Chain A
Amino acid sequence: MNMIQAINSAMDVMMDRDPAVIVMGEDVGYFGGVFRATAGLQAKYGKTRVFDTPITECGIIGVAVGMGAYGLRPVPEIQFADYIYPALDQLVSEAARLRYRSAGEFIAPITVRSPFGGGIFGGQTHSQSPEGIFTHVSGIKTVIPSTPYDAKGLLIAAIEDNDPTLFFEPKRIYNGPFDGHWDRPTQNWSQHPAGAVPEGYYKIPLGKANVVREGEALTILVYGTMVHVASAVVADAGVDAEIIDLRTLVPLDIETIEASVKKTGRCMIIHEATRTGGFGAELSALVQERCFYHLEAPIERVTGFDTPYPHSLEWAYFPGPVRIGEALKKVMKD
């Protein structure tokens, strides 16, 4: 399966198991979503469980909050993560706080799916990575898969979870892992072990990172598309790096991070989102606080630049093999 099919399968499994699960969003019903992630679900589960919505993101999330309070488990889709901002207030002030402010009387068990990240020539309105905005908010979970296998298991866990969850789908790797070399053909998920996705139910717990490569020389903290880019750079450079795919940013698997950095003594953090105040800053602070005396070099952050995503210059923006390679040399120096 590719990642879209895995995500589709997760919703299918959950809709089949739990009549409270409903899917809604712009174009998700009859058409099955612009990325086809919800294809076939309306035909199978009917129009009252899978339906198109008006183009109002604050409406979509607000309605989902109300449905969640009623007892449903809505899985709203925001067509591109760039369009989540009109719904920001409903997510930040409402969904994220409903349990807290009502002392548990009402909850918002919603899972907001949204394709995010660049590398598809989407320009500034189809490329952003807004995860750092939401990790800053108390009461909301943030999940980012990097493979079809993880996407299905994590999405099932997110839908079952009673807290509001953002599920950001790295759209650059919907069809196959991407090594960061934009001018090379992309691999297909069918040639990758994580493309083997079981049909039925399984889940990957939120808050558990995945060590995708064990190593002794350096710890690399990544998620989403950058997992594959980092892996390719490490393979080319021949560095014995430990690569940790965080999978969920909130809750974060601090134990795995801490144990790894204490073992390797070096840490590099990579994300596509802009640098200032990004989630990498939080990771860097955590590693510094917890592993300072084990560090043999300053922590390196590799990120997108603090600009909007430039359409024609997107590969200059993208933290690709060159930028990561330079940072790798720096952090491995002496």
Chain B
Amino acid sequence: MPSDRPGANLPPLSLYVPEPRFRPGDTVDFTEVPVPPAGQARRPDTAEPASAFTDLAYDLVRVLDADGQAVGPWNPRLSPDTLRAMLRSMVTVRAFDERMFRAQRQGKTSFYMKCTGEEAVAVSAAFALDRDDMCFPSYRQQGLLIARGWSLVDMMNQIYSNKGDRLQGKQLPIMYSVRDASFFSISGNLTTQYPQAVGWAMASAAKGDTRIAAAWCGEGSTAEGDFHSACTFASVYRAPVIFNVVNNQWAISSFSGFAGAEATTFAARAIGYGIAGLRVDGNDALAVYAATAWAAERARTNQGPTLIEHFTYRVEGHSTSDDPGQYRSAGEASAWPLGDPVTRLKDHLIAIGEWDEERHIAQDKEIAEMVRAAQKEAEANGILGHGLHQPLDSLFDGVFEEMPWHLREQQAQMLAEETASGRPWARK
């Protein structure tokens, strides 16, 4: 560097690059993660202006305490039946994930993504929303479909791209679309669903409908421009929408620091937009339920959008293509200070005398059996790569409502190629 440059005598700048606290081999210590006691966070009236919630964007709403009791103003006071139904859905999600993960390892499909440790995020939201509220999920909210009682076989058909796949094998596994369950078509392009959810919510409001929209994205994805566009739109038009940011600490191998977590919370993103922001214990099914119900009430009473950060932990790898052992300490999942969402809800039900270990074990067995039976049924429709499950000419269906000449020509060409190739692909 030339020494005659103006300012050459100033101390040099340095670039800061964030680094996660633990790497493979490190001992994990999460004592520095603030975990306020359950029941402590205040619960403002839903009619309060967004600015009244500023402190809640930095706090952590928790309902279940260490003894499995539900405490504080956010306790949604759910009936034991509802609590058991939520537990059942969460256990089903976990069993479904286990089974489908294994199916991928057995070569029956190309790809799978688990939501282990995050089951409460989607399941509790599904219980707190109405069934016809439109969900714009990312790829880790399979719990929405399961909690809404959607067919496991239908989901598996999609994962296998088999002949029962209503999406005709056009989507990557787990990128479901279930209009009947108010579950929007999942995109692989992160956070594109955010402005779409706002548009849906705005349309619902413009039509005088009563349905609201909810969207999910990971904390890593909050860096996308679509996230910020969506926040602006939602704020400007007071769209009846709930933004869920699932802060599971990792975006593939990048820790949350690369999305800005060292500087502030993700719930605090809301503040600059004048949106109500809430930070909740994402492993606490009751807290997630309470926050969602509260946000839904705000949306339904034209108080506008709410952004909920679900503070949670991704226990498993990012997807079947990922090895988390390469980039994080093996101790993280077990040291995570907010525990496991399934265990915590189970412990709560036991603590209030509405459940016991025997019933839980029996339910685990029953659900495992149910998932296995669903898998058998789905596999009867075929698995990925074993034969042609969709009619070959369906490849061109749905590009446009009506097929234009250039697609008809290309379709004819493809069919001619296939016929000439002598491949044993029977056309339906």
Task: Decide if A and B are genuine partners.
Answer: yes
Residues of B contacting A93 in the complex (Cβ-Cβ under 8 angstroms): 187, 189, 192
- Verify A66–B203 contact, CB threshold 8 A: yes
Asked whether any CB of chain A lies closer than 8 Å to the CB of B21, the reply is: no
Of the 9-residue stretches A56-64, A239-247, A261-269, A323-331, which lies at the interface with chain B?
A: A56-64
Residues of A contacting B195 in the complex (Cβ-Cβ under 8 angstroms): 58-59, 61-63, 65-66, 90
Option from B175, B226, B398 in Cβ contact (under 8 Å) with A99: B398
- Verify A103–B229 contact, CB threshold 8 A: no
- Verify B185–A59 contact, CB threshold 8 A: no
- Verify B200–A100 contact, CB threshold 8 A: no
Are A101 and B200 CB-contacts (below 8 A) given A54-B233, A62-B229?
no
Asked whether any CB of chain A lies closer than 8 Å to the CB of B405, the reply is: yes
A: which residues have CB within 8 A of B? 22, 48-49, 53-54, 56, 58-59, 61-72, 74, 86, 89-90, 93-94, 98-107, 138-139, 141, 161-163, 207, 250-252, 254-255
- Verify A66–B400 contact, CB threshold 8 A: no
- Verify B229–A58 contact, CB threshold 8 A: yes
Option from B168, B177, B192, B399 in Cβ contact (under 8 Å) with A94: B192
Could you tell me the distance between the alpha carbons of A162 and B204 in the complex, rounded to whole angstroms? 19
Q: Would you list which residues of chain B between 140 and 180 have a CB under 8 Å from chain A? A: 166-168, 170-171, 175, 177-179
The 5 closest A-B pairs by CB, nearest first: A66-B199, A62-B195, A59-B229, A63-B199, A66-B196
Residues of A contacting B197 in the complex (Cβ-Cβ under 8 angstroms): 66
Option from A49, A71, A72, A89 in Cβ contact (under 8 Å) with B189: A89
Asked whether any CB of chain A lies closer than 8 Å to the CB of B246, the reply is: no
Q: How far is the CB of B162 from chain A (nearest CB, A)?
A: 14
Could you tell me the distance between the alpha carbons of A89 and B195 in the complex, rounded to whole angstroms? 12
Asked whether any CB of chain A lies closer than 8 Å to the CB of B311, the reply is: no
Option from A49, A61, A62, A89 in Cβ contact (under 8 Å) with B206: A49
Tally A-B pairs: CB < 8 A: 152
Q: How far is the CB of B411 from chain A (nearest CB, A)?
A: 13
Residues of B contacting A104 in the complex (Cβ-Cβ under 8 angstroms): 397-398
Residues of A contacting B206 in the complex (Cβ-Cβ under 8 angstroms): 22, 48-49, 72
Could you tell me the distance between the alpha carbons of A65 and B194 in the complex, rounded to whole angstroms? 11
Q: List 11 A-B contacts (CB under 8 A).
A: A56-B225, A56-B233, A63-B196, A90-B195, A94-B196, A98-B185, A103-B167, A106-B177, A139-B400, A161-B401, A251-B405
- Verify B226–A59 contact, CB threshold 8 A: yes
- Chain B 403-416 per-residue mask, 1 if CB under 8 angstroms from chain A, else 0: 01110000000000
Q: How far is the CB of B262 from chain A (nearest CB, A)?
A: 27
- Verify A71–B203 contact, CB threshold 8 A: yes
- Verify B225–A67 contact, CB threshold 8 A: no
Residues of B contacting A48 in the complex (Cβ-Cβ under 8 angstroms): 206
- Verify B232–A103 contact, CB threshold 8 A: no
Could you tell me the distance between the alpha carbons of A54 and B273 in the complex, rounded to whole angstroms? 12
Residues of B contacting A99 in the complex (Cβ-Cβ under 8 angstroms): 398-401
Q: How far is the CB of A20 from chain B (nearest CB, A)?
A: 9
Asked whether any CB of chain A lies closer than 8 Å to the CB of B255, the reply is: no
- Verify B185–A101 contact, CB threshold 8 A: yes
Residues of A contacting B78 in the complex (Cβ-Cβ under 8 angstroms): none
Option from B136, B201, B401 in Cβ contact (under 8 Å) with A163: B401
B: which residues have CB within 8 A of A? 134, 136, 166-168, 170-171, 175, 177-179, 184-185, 187, 189, 192, 194-204, 206-207, 213, 225-226, 228-230, 232-233, 236, 397-401, 404-406
Q: Report the nearest B residue to A22, measured CB to CB.
A: B206
- Verify B198–A63 contact, CB threshold 8 A: yes
- Verify A53–B233 contact, CB threshold 8 A: yes
Could you tell me the distance between the alpha carbons of A94 and B198 in the complex, rounded to whole angstroms? 15
Q: Report the nearest B residue to A98, measured CB to CB.
A: B185
Option from B134, B185, B404 in Cβ contact (under 8 Å) with A102: B185
Residues of B contacting A102 in the complex (Cβ-Cβ under 8 angstroms): 167, 171, 177, 179, 185
Could you tell me the distance between the alpha carbons of A63 and B204 in the complex, rounded to whole angstroms? 12
Could you tell me the distance between the alpha carbons of A72 and B195 in the complex, rounded to whole angstroms? 15
Residues of B contacting A59 in the complex (Cβ-Cβ under 8 angstroms): 195, 198, 226, 229-230, 232-233
- Verify B203–A72 contact, CB threshold 8 A: yes
Option from A70, A105, A162, A251 in Cβ contact (under 8 Å) with B200: A70
Q: How far is the CB of A205 from chain B (nearest CB, A)?
A: 11
Could you tell me the distance between the alpha carbons of A66 and B204 in the complex, rounded to whole angstroms? 10
Q: How far is the CB of B5 from chain A (nearest CB, A)?
A: 33
Could you tell me the distance between the alpha carbons of A99 and B184 in the complex, rounded to whole angstroms? 12
Residues of B contacting A251 in the complex (Cβ-Cβ under 8 angstroms): 400, 404-406
Residues of A contacting B166 in the complex (Cβ-Cβ under 8 angstroms): 103, 105
Residues of A contacting B204 in the complex (Cβ-Cβ under 8 angstroms): 70
Q: How far is the CB of B184 from chain A (nearest CB, A)?
A: 7
Residues of A contacting B405 in the complex (Cβ-Cβ under 8 angstroms): 251-252, 254-255
Could you tell me the distance between the alpha carbons of A218 and B228 in the complex, rounded to whole angstroms? 52
Could you tell me the distance between the alpha carbons of A138 and B229 in the complex, rounded to whole angstroms? 25
Option from A58, A72, A101 in Cβ contact (under 8 Å) with B171: A101
Q: Report the nearest A residue to B228, measured CB to CB.
A: A56
- Verify B192–A67 contact, CB threshold 8 A: no
Option from A66, A161, A163 in Cβ contact (under 8 Å) with B198: A66
Q: Report the nearest B residue to A163, measured CB to CB.
A: B400
Q: Which of B192, B197, B199 has the most CB of A within 10 A?
A: B199
Q: Report the nearest A residue to B196, measured CB to CB.
A: A66
Could you tell me the distance between the alpha carbons of A22 and B236 in the complex, rounded to whole angstroms? 17
Residues of A contacting B397 in the complex (Cβ-Cβ under 8 angstroms): 100, 103-104
Could you tell me the distance between the alpha carbons of A129 and B226 in the complex, rounded to whole angstroms? 25
- Verify A66–B200 contact, CB threshold 8 A: yes
Q: How far is the CB of B417 from chain A (nearest CB, A)?
A: 17
Are A56 and B203 CB-contacts (below 8 A) given A102-B185, A207-B404, A254-B405?
no
Q: How far is the CB of A332 from chain B (nearest CB, A)?
A: 30
Q: A56-B229, A100-B170, A107-B401 are in contact. List 8 more A-B contacts (CB 8 A).
A: A54-B232, A58-B229, A65-B196, A72-B206, A105-B185, A138-B399, A252-B404, A254-B406
- Verify A103–B196 contact, CB threshold 8 A: no
Q: Report the nearest A residue to B236, measured CB to CB.
A: A54
Q: How far is the CB of B212 from chain A (nearest CB, A)?
A: 12
Residues of A contacting B194 in the complex (Cβ-Cβ under 8 angstroms): 62
Are A162 and B232 CB-contacts (below 8 A) given A66-B198, A66-B203?
no
Option from B179, B228, B399 in Cβ contact (under 8 Å) with A100: B399
Q: Report the nearest B residue to A53, measured CB to CB.
A: B233
Residues of A contacting B175 in the complex (Cβ-Cβ under 8 angstroms): 101
Residues of B contacting A67 in the complex (Cβ-Cβ under 8 angstroms): 199-200, 202-203
Q: How far is the CB of B128 from chain A (nearest CB, A)?
A: 21
Q: Report the nearest B residue to A248, measured CB to CB.
A: B404
Are A103 and B177 CB-contacts (below 8 A) given A54-B236, A62-B229, A98-B185?
yes
Residues of B contacting A53 in the complex (Cβ-Cβ under 8 angstroms): 233, 236
